[in-house]
Amino acid sequence: MKNVSCALTIAGTDPSGGAGIQADLKTFQELKSYGMSVITSVVAQNTTGVKGVHHLPVDMLHEQLEAISSDMPVHALKTGMIATEEMMGIVAEWIAKMNVSYVMDPVMVTQSGDPLIEKDARLYLKHHLVPLASVLTPNIPEAEDLLGDKIETKEDMKQAAASIVEKLGCGAALMKGGHFQGEAVDYLFDGDRIHTFQSERIKTKNTHGTGCTYSAAITAYLSQGFPIVKAVEMAKYYVTEAVRHSFDLGHGSGPTNHFAVREGVVNR
Ligand SMILES: Nc1ncnc2c1ncn2[C@@H]1O[C@H](COP(=O)(O)OP(=O)(O)OP(=O)(O)O)[C@@H](O)[C@H]1O
Ligand SMILES: Cc1ncc(CO)c(N)n1
């Protein structure tokens, strides 16, 4: 049998297909990793926002995780929305036993401003999940929340990436500048130095699911054995092309386009 790279996402759903588990699986598929998913919460949402949320019972979360580890190889994994402390505890305990690259997207609030995790669970996330991560991928509001500092300049972004690694104990931090003005620039601190990943800012309102797509692409490349800096470089290219060719679907912020990368511009 041909070698297959297996990537797992542990996250909430998006029935409109642009973010969450659905975006992650599309990304894994496009980048040729075998995609697996464990659902934390079912979220009724679309391009305009969140309409309702149902958290799965924690024993069901545990059973899904065990169904994976008792049977399937996992070469890299990511987490997105994990809404409550209790759910975070189960996921953290399971991940601690897995010896694989772990990309943590510290999802807190959607682009439309809807909260995805309980406010009290943020401290738990910081102390119990972040230290397990090989790489954390916060946007600016998430990094401000984790560090308790304002991030206003590019220098602040670089400093935040380093502080996250040094103070919170993850392996690397990718500070995303999607919420900034000007060029779309992200900074990775890998425990040693800062690496810069920059693209032009594409003029579009259709950026639903960019964060999920980006962290899923990093996970796919890590599952294939690429080192972290190369994985981020290729994932940045993937998300940029997916935004450039994003779909004008729905009444709000439309989804990224995964086919765009397949048809032309391609990976690696
Ligand atoms: N308009 C744009 N043009 C080019 N790149 C963009 C644009 N918007 C976001 N990106 C890029 O997409 C990636 C995801 O960044 P972003 O900061 O938007 O994540 P996020 O806020 O976590 O996403 P989400 O809203 O899905 O949670 C980053 O590399 C960012 O630079
Ligand atoms: C389930 C889910 N995870 C992450 C995001 C990104 O904000 C979203 N909109 N929905």
Please write the tens of the pLDDT for every residue from 40-76: 999 999 999 999 999 999 999 999 999 999 999 999 9
Domain assignment present for 209: yes
Tell me, what's the pLDDT at 264? Answer: 55
Residue 110 Cβ inside 6 Å of ligand 2? The answer reads yes
Give CA–CA dist 21/24, Å, rounded.
5
Nearest ligand 1 atom to the CA of 207 is 8
Domain assignment present for 184: yes
> Is 109 a residue whose pLDDT tops 60?
yes
pLDDT tens for 219-241 read: 999 999 999 999 999 999 999 99
pLDDT class for 119, splitting at 50, 70, 90?
A: confident
The CA dihedral of 79, 88, 99, 71, to the nearest 10 degrees, is -80
> Is 1 a residue whose pLDDT tops 60?
no
The total domain count for the chain is 1
- Judge whether 170 counts as a catalytic residue: no
Domain assignment present for 259: no
Burial of residue 150 (CB within 10 Å: 0-12, 13-18, 19+) is exposed
Domain assignment present for 257: no
CB 10 within 8 A of CB 80: yes
Catalytic position from the list 26, 78, 126, 176:
176
Domain with 116, as residue range(s), is: 6-244
Could you tell me the distance, in angstroms and rounded to a whole number, from the CA of residue 1 to the centre of ligand 2? 35
DSSP state string for 80-114? ----SHHHHHHHHHHHHH--SEEEE----B-TTS-
| Contacts of residue 164, Cβ cutoff 8 Å, sequence gap at least 6 | 130, 136, 138, 143, 146, 147, 170, 173, 175, 189
Domain assignment present for 253: no
Domain assignment present for 193: yes
**Best mutation site among 27, 43, 210, 236 for ligand 1 pocket (most ligand atoms within 8 Å of CB):** 210
CATH number at residue 13: 3.40.1190.20
DSSP structure class, residue 133: -
Token pair, residue 162, equals: 């380093």
pTM comes to 0.96
Domain assignment present for 93: yes
Token pair, residue 115, equals: 């909260």
Tell me, what's the pLDDT at 263? Answer: 62
> Atom 3 of ligand 2 has which residue's CA nearest to it?
20
> Is 124 a residue whose pLDDT tops 90?
yes
CB 102 within 8 A of CB 134: yes
> Is 2 a residue whose pLDDT tops 80?
no
Tell me, what's the pLDDT at 114? Answer: 86
> Is 267 a residue whose pLDDT tops 90?
no
Within 10 angstroms of residue 69's Cβ, the number of other Cβ atoms is 13
pLDDT tens for 10-46 read: 999 999 999 999 999 999 999 999 999 999 999 999 9
Residue 103, strand partner residues: 78, 135
Domain assignment present for 142: yes
52 — phi, psi (to 5°)? -170, 155
CB 249 within 8 A of CB 47: yes
- SS3 category, 262: helix
DSSP structure class, residue 150: -
